[in-house]
Amino acid sequence: MSIEFDNNLPIYLQIMNHIKRQIVSGLLQPGDKIPSVRELAADLQINPNTIQRTFQELEREEVVETKRGLGRYVTSEESKIMAIKKEMAGELLHQFIHGMQELGFKNQDIVTIVKEAVAAESGKDRKEEHPDGRASEG
Amino acid sequence: MMKLLKYDLRRNANLLLAVCAVLILCELALILSPAMLEVKLGVIIVANFAAAVIFMINNLRVFDYNIKSVSRRLLPVNTLSYVWASLVYGILNTLALIVIAGGAGLYFLGRLDASFWADAFKLPLYVWIGLALEAVFTTVYGFLMFYVVIALARSITKKGAFWVGLLLFLVLSAVMDWLENLLFGQDSTQPFNMVTFHFESTTGTITHDSLTAVAGWRWFGSFGFELLLSIAFLFVIKWCVEKRIEAR
Amino acid sequence: MDALLKVNGISKTYGKKQVLDGVSFDIGPGRLVGLLGSNGSGKSTLMQIVAGLTPATAGDISVAGEPAGRKTKSLISYMPDRPITESWMKVKDAIAFYNDFYADFDMEKAREMLDFMKLDEKNGVSVLSKGMNERLQLTLALSRNVSLYLLDEPIGGVDPVARGKILDAIVRFYREDSSLIISTHLVRDMERIFDEVMFLQDGRIVLHEEVENLRMKHGRSVDDMFKEVFGE
């Protein structure tokens, strides 16, 4: 696992987002085991306490749960995973809308453009025959 | 302390073994050579003396290394262990030399006029013990004086420690001599304080039965003085190493 | 939680030059701390004082409540910025040396780390490259189970491959109840492994902060802050 980290922003947040993305995209399935603090720290060459903090936050948000003696696991609650999706989508949307507004688009134009873009993407998808059969998000 | 000693020996093994080997070869070569007996004796004595000097300098460098090198100073050992390890190291080297010299000595024993030495062997045992003890003590005292000078020199300065040390040594030994003389009226030209050798000579040459020895008690004051000094040296060394000398 | 290391008013003068001026800080257990400063800023001197190799001109230090002295040597593992192995030694002799003298030395951990660092026991230390030597020094220092590790420039002057290995080893062999203080001027490579950093400038600690707080408060990396403070 190698992630590009931005040293200007808190690392633990970046790792949290990374793990959430992995959950949302299915790379980490509900109920999957997460690497231990030590493993992850060694993999990423990051301070173990930072990883610890990440896990604590993820637990607080109930994204992961600790099973005593066994380790940490992704939550198996689908509702929770959906909530994460929405939260991450929310951020994406927020960034997207601001980005578009900075480019000078008005709100109605943004909606129209999005509709066109989604249709175009779906068409491309059908032609390329997306391997896992899922339609891409956004 | 034993561990320090072990590693000191291993680190210097090449030098120590080389000197011993060269010395033994020298002695063998001389013994087998057709030179005159007196010449052989002379050269062997010089060779042994040279080896002794090399060992002595090596010992001082071992002590110096122990008190200033980072790897030694990090070790969780008693500060005085460095002193004990170096002393034992010196004693072991000396023993080795004695054995080698003794080996050569055996050769000469049969050949030279050894009557003089035969007299010496007639001396009472307690005299021998006294001599041996005094020899050991004097050696230890001498080494301690060198050690304390090295420790002080390293405490005072980083560069030029050698010259500072030399100066300190000359000053210190001069002061000690003067003090001993003052306090005990001892003549420091005598090699042994405990035992005085008397040569009785009627004909101007050393003959049989001319050697007697008396173990006197006047040495006690001088001995006590040097013993106290030795203890003082140990304290000074300890203080220097713990409070003043930077490891490099 | 009581501080593992308490440094109180440490000053060091060499003749007229004041290298350290009233340095004070506390380090708790389980922390990875960066001691940052430009070259010659006194980082090495400070570490040597904590390790008991150099006497301070003023101030005192305590490790786990014990004042610095013979007992604390057993609590501290120090890796100097220069190799300290003796030239007659092979790698296995260097390991044996540590094993002989330090009761807390973990032989198994050492062998594991030698393996990890790709060091061969049979090699003489004098034939090791600089990078390999650093790896050996690190192996020796980290194979001891102590409360406080002091690493002086563990990745300075070492090729990037060795650097990666060394950082990896530091993180991998980290223990939760002990702390590491690592001094370096290569901030960018190392900032991700620090919990907190201290900036040492002109002999004084001008900043002592948790790294994530720095990022959150100032929105800047430690490297950027370093450049700002030390004006490179």
CA distance B122 to B129: 13
CA distance A58 to B71: 45
> What is the pLDDT at residue B209?
43
- Check: CB of residue B86 under 8 Å from CB of residue B143: yes
For the record, the structure tokens of A79 come out as 């509702």
The residue to which tokens 């390991």 are assigned: C95
Question: Which helix (H) or strand (E) is C152 found in, with range?
Answer: strand C148-152
The share of chain B scoring above pLDDT 90, in percent, equals: 31
**Tens-digit pLDDT profile for residues B67-116:** 989 999 999 998 999 999 999 999 999 989 988 888 887 777 666 665 55
Residue C72, C-beta contacts closer than 8 angstroms, at least 6 positions apart? C52, C61, C62, C63, C64, C66
Strands of B173-210, DSSP E: 195-199
Q: How confident is the model at residue B55 (pLDDT cuts 50, 70, 90)?
A: very high
**Tens-digit pLDDT profile for residues C13-36:** 988 889 999 999 999 999 999 999
Q: Could you give the 3-state DSSP secondary structure of residue B233? A: helix
Mean per-residue pLDDT of chain B: 80
The arithmetic mean of pLDDT across residues B208-228, rounded, is 62
> What is the pLDDT at residue C179?
94
The share of chain A scoring above pLDDT 70, in percent, equals: 89
A38 touches chain C (CB under 8 A): yes
- Check: CB of residue C214 under 8 Å from CB of residue C197: yes
* Subunits adjacent to chain C (3 or more Cβ pairs under 8 Å): A, B
The arithmetic mean of pLDDT across residues A75-92, rounded, is 83
Minimal C-alpha gap between C222 and chain A (Å): 7
- Output the DSSP codes for B166-183: HHHHHHHHHHHHHHHHHH
CA distance B15 to B43: 22
The arithmetic mean of pLDDT across residues A6-35, rounded, is 87
> What is the pLDDT at residue B43?
85
Task: List, as ranges, residues 45-104 from C with C-beta within 8 Å of B.
Answer: 48, 51-55, 69-71, 73-74, 78, 80, 82, 84-86, 88, 93, 97, 100-102
Q: Please determine, for residue A114, whether its predicted confidence score (pLDDT) is greater than 50.
A: yes
- Check: CB of residue B217 under 8 Å from CB of residue B194: no
The arithmetic mean of pLDDT across residues A46-53, rounded, is 90
Mean per-residue pLDDT of chain A: 83
Lowest average pLDDT, out of A70-79, C133-142, C215-224, goes to: A70-79
ipTM entry? 0.87
Beta-bridged to residue C205, according to DSSP, are: C200
- Check: CB of residue B47 under 8 Å from CB of residue B57: no
Q: Please determine, for residue A137, whether its predicted confidence score (pLDDT) is greater than 50.
A: no
A95 touches chain C (CB under 8 A): no
Q: How confident is the model at residue A71 (pLDDT cuts 50, 70, 90)?
A: confident
Q: Please determine, for residue B120, whether its predicted confidence score (pLDDT) is greater than 90.
A: no
Task: Using a threshold of 3 CB pairs under 8 A, tell whether chains B and A touch.
Answer: no
pTM listed for this prediction: 0.82
The arithmetic mean of pLDDT across residues A2-17, rounded, is 85
A64-67 and A71-74 strand pairing: antiparallel
Mean per-residue pLDDT of chain C: 89
The arithmetic mean of pLDDT across residues B219-237, rounded, is 85
The arithmetic mean of pLDDT across residues C138-142, rounded, is 92
**Tens-digit pLDDT profile for residues B152-192:** 988 887 777 777 888 888 888 888 878 777 776 655 445 55
Q: How confident is the model at residue B196 (pLDDT cuts 50, 70, 90)?
A: low
